[in-house]
């Protein structure tokens, strides 16, 4: 796109680069599709009157703990991204959902207490060893590798979730598709 610079406009191109090799991604996706029976689905046009509070790990989060706790006390659903679930738990907040996207093995250490787990199909198999299958929902980020692996699946709902390349942005897409129209973001400092 075009960007402003002193002296006039310029062009800038950004390329999204994955932190995991394609072969590993493919293997992760194939594994998760075989072990998680519940795949993300939604009812077209479904809307609820609830609030979804999506919490990322940015530095501003530390000053918002009381506000997040208050929102949860009102019945608003708290979704934590990645390791933020453990941070919130250390402050007495058990999240309603933990959302993960990253495919690296070390992210399995991020799993914390949650009401449910929204785990991307590209996540490492070690993540799926740490979450209770009955409370885990598999979702598919819209990437070429995921599309290739799930293209012939016809016995489960296959929705490729787009809107960005980060867990935070994709979590907002998941919340919207789940029916939330009041979405509050915390710790999205990047």
- pLDDT by residue (tens digit) across 92-134? 999 999 999 999 999 999 999 999 999 999 999 999 999 999 9
Q: What is the pLDDT of residue 17?
A: 56
First-to-last CA distance in the chain?
20
- pLDDT by residue (tens digit) across 38-87? 999 999 888 999 999 999 999 999 999 999 999 999 999 999 999 999 99
Average pLDDT of the chain to the nearest whole number? 93
Helices (H), the chain: 22-35, 65-73, 84-90, 125-130, 144-150, 167-178
In the structure, what pLDDT confidence band is assigned to residue 20 with cuts at 50, 70 and 90?
A: confident
Q: What is the pLDDT of residue 45?
A: 87
């Amino acid at each position: 796109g075009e960007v402003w610079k002193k002296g006039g406009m310029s062009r800038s191109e950004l390329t999204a680069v994955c932190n995991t090799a394609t072969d590993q991604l493919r293997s992760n996706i194939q594994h998760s599709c075989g072990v998680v029976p519940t795949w993300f689905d939604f009812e077209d046009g479904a809307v609820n009157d609830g609030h979804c509070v999506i919490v990322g790990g940015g530095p501003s989060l530390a000053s918002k703990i009381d506000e997040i706790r208050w929102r949860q006390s009102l019945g608003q659903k708290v979704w934590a991204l990645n390791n933020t679930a453990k941070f919130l738990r250390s402050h007495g907040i058990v999240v309603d959902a933990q959302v993960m996207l990253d495919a690296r093995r070390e992210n399995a250490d991020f799993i914390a207490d949650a009401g449910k787990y929204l785990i991307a199909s590209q996540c490492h198999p070690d993540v799926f060893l740490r979450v209770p299958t009955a409370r885990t929902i598999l979702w598919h980020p819209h990437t070429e590798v995921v599309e290739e692996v799930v293209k012939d699946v016809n016995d489960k709902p296959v929705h490729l979730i787009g809107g960005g390349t980060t867990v935070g942005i994709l979590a907002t897409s998941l919340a919207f598709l789940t029916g939330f129209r009041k979405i509050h973001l915390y710790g999205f400092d990047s």
